[in-house]
Structure 1
Amino acid sequence: MTTTTALRTAARVVGAVKVYGGGDTAVRALDGVDVDFPVGRFTAIMGPSGSGKSTLMHCAAGLDTLTSGAAYIGDTELGALDDRRLTLLRRDRVGFVFQAFNLVPTLTVAENITLPLDLAGRRGDREWIDALVDVVGLRDRLHHRPSELSGGQQQRVAVARAFAGRPDVVFADEPTGNLDSRSGGEVLGLLRRAVRQTDRTVVMVTHDPVAAAHADEVLFLADGRLVDRMQSPTADKVLDRMKAFEVRS
């Protein structure tokens, strides 16, 4: 007998439509997208400029609202929440890593990692945070300030901060955009290890085929629609797929 185990879903969008503006100037950034982001998986989102990839991430993360359709974190529909409950959900169940490191310059590495927890008045799981410090390799930098770190080290702090509250899902928007190739590779490897070692979920928007190759799956968007997906990607296969968009356009 063959048993099929359904993947649990950390986040998803159903019939996602996002329209900016109105009338003749309306822009349909998302056009009926259905996507699941499974628990314990690293998913990359790619597409040409203007394809809707950042809009998809922002709506899935609750940073923007859909024009129609629905977005969920776990079983919670984001559109059913008022501003206060949506803010609390983002604080407690969602982590963010952005291209800019967004560290507080006057705080130490340790203080930056726990800042969201401190602002929420939560102690956090000290054993979890201690393990994260080892995952990101910052044990000997905890008392340093951001100005004393390299760009790659600062982004590692940002990654640890995103995971510190044990969120259901971490959204990363071009997390290696400000890094050189070596530092970027370290951060991408770190995100992959964090998924493997903590059973968290990462959703990353990127334009870089090398970055996308670190993911378990790549989703391709074009003109606001999901047009393809690739399991076990390599940089060459992703690049070939992206070149097909250029030929079509």
Structure 2
Amino acid sequence: MTGTVTTGTDTRTAARVVDAVKVYGSGDTEVRALDGVSVDFTAGRFTVIMGPSGSGKSTLMHCAAGLDTLTSGSAFIGDTDLSGLDDHRLTLLRRRHLGFVFQAFNLLPTLTVAENITLPMDLAGERPDSRWLDALIDTVGLRDRLHHRPSELSGGQQQRVAVVRAFAGRPQVVFADEPTGNLDSRSGEEVLRLLAGTVRRTDRTVVMVTHDPVAAAHADEVVFLADGRLVDRMEAPTAERVLDRLKAFDGTRHKEREVSP
């Protein structure tokens, strides 16, 4: 298959990359993490990026979010071409229009839950929408934890704080990189339900990297990468269908290795 996959008729695109190439190193050490990927992420949907280890899924997310730069090609948030922004403008765009949830929570230990939630807006000099924020806090069940510090919370509670922080500024897109990787299965399930439920209740957009077919089943769509290329998309995924598709990719790669000279 080629690195470009058609994406349907919905023109509301929250983020996209076009002919994305990302190369690390040079010469004998060169690694082509992305090899001509074009993909769009539809607004108001929960999209998961999956693929075998080393397929380029985290690289794709980081480049789409402006956390890393492409070697060639373009990345857009809405209609804004990230390659045309200097560091200052890129920082402002990430702060005002994007939210992030990472595996490591990234909460400041000296701040309370409430202070961690509003930190990005405080840095941007913006006042939070109190009604929106209250609704998010109540949705994740953190009302009685607002004055606690991260060390006083469980891992699942800390990740719920990170989810609220990511959505607090009403971002165009929330990018989540293995957000359940440090959680037990029950806490992970709660966080995934929060992400999916927030997308559907508020028309926000989430793009998540995961290796877990059960996690992917919460999404509206899964895009699959292999060897730095976009190779498939799946609507309305189930854990079983995703697992079967991943096994098929692994089998194909194994056969390719066997016939290589």
- TM bucket (normalised to shorter chain) is over 0.9
String of CA shifts for 1:54-107, please: whole Å, max 9, x gaps: 000000000011111100000000000111111110111111000001111121
Contact 2:100 2:166 in 1 (8 A): yes
Q: Which amino acid aligns with 1:57?
A: M
Q: Which is further off, 4-13 or 190-199?
A: 4-13
SS of residue in 2 equivalent to 1:40: coil
Name the counterpart of 1:83: 87
**1:27-68, CA deviations, whole angstroms, 9 ceiling, x for partnerless residues?**
111011111111110000000111000000000000011111
Figure out how many residues of one structure are paired with residues of the other and give that number.
Answer: 246
List per-residue Cα deviations over 1:93-139 (Å, max 9, x = no partner).
Answer: 11100000111112111111101111222112111111111222211
Percent of residue pairs identical: 81
Partner of residue 159 from structure 1, selected from 163, 166, 173:
163
User: Could you tell me how far apart the structure 2 residues matched to 1:5 and 1:223 are?
Assistant: 27
Alignment match, 2:109: 105
- Residue 63 (structure 2) aligns with: 59
Amino acid at match of 1:109: V
CA RMSD, 1 decimal: 1.2
Question: 1:194: which partner in 2?
Answer: 198
Q: Are the equivalent residues in 1 in contact too, given 2:10–2:42 (CA < 8 A)?
A: no
Cα distance in 1, alignment partners of residues 159 and 10 from structure 2: 34
Paired residue secondary structure (1:19): strand
Which residue of structure 2 aligns with residue 9 of structure 1? 13
Q: Using the TM superposition, give the Cα deviation of residue 24 of structure 1 relative to its aligned residue in structure 2, in angstroms.
A: 2.5
Shift of 1:162: 0.6
Aligned counterpart, 1:245: 249
TM-fit CA distance, 1:6: 3.1
1:50 aligned onto 2:74? no
Q: Distance in 2 between matches of 1:87 and 1:146?
A: 25
- 2-side partners of 1:106 and 1:64: how far apart? 28
Structure 2 counterpart of 1:208, from 193, 205, 212: 212
| Distance across 2 between alignment mates of 1:15 and 1:9 | 16
Which of 16, 19, 23 is the aligned partner of 1:19?
23
Q: Which moved more, 1:205-214 or 1:116-125?
A: 116-125
**What CA deviation, in whole Å up to 9, does each residue of 1:12-36 have, x standing for no partner?**
0011111111123211110111111
Q: Aligned-pair distance for 1:227?
A: 0.5
Tell me the secondary structure at the aligned position of residue 236 of structure 1. helix
**Structure 2: stretches of 5+ with no match in the other structure:** 1-7, 255-261
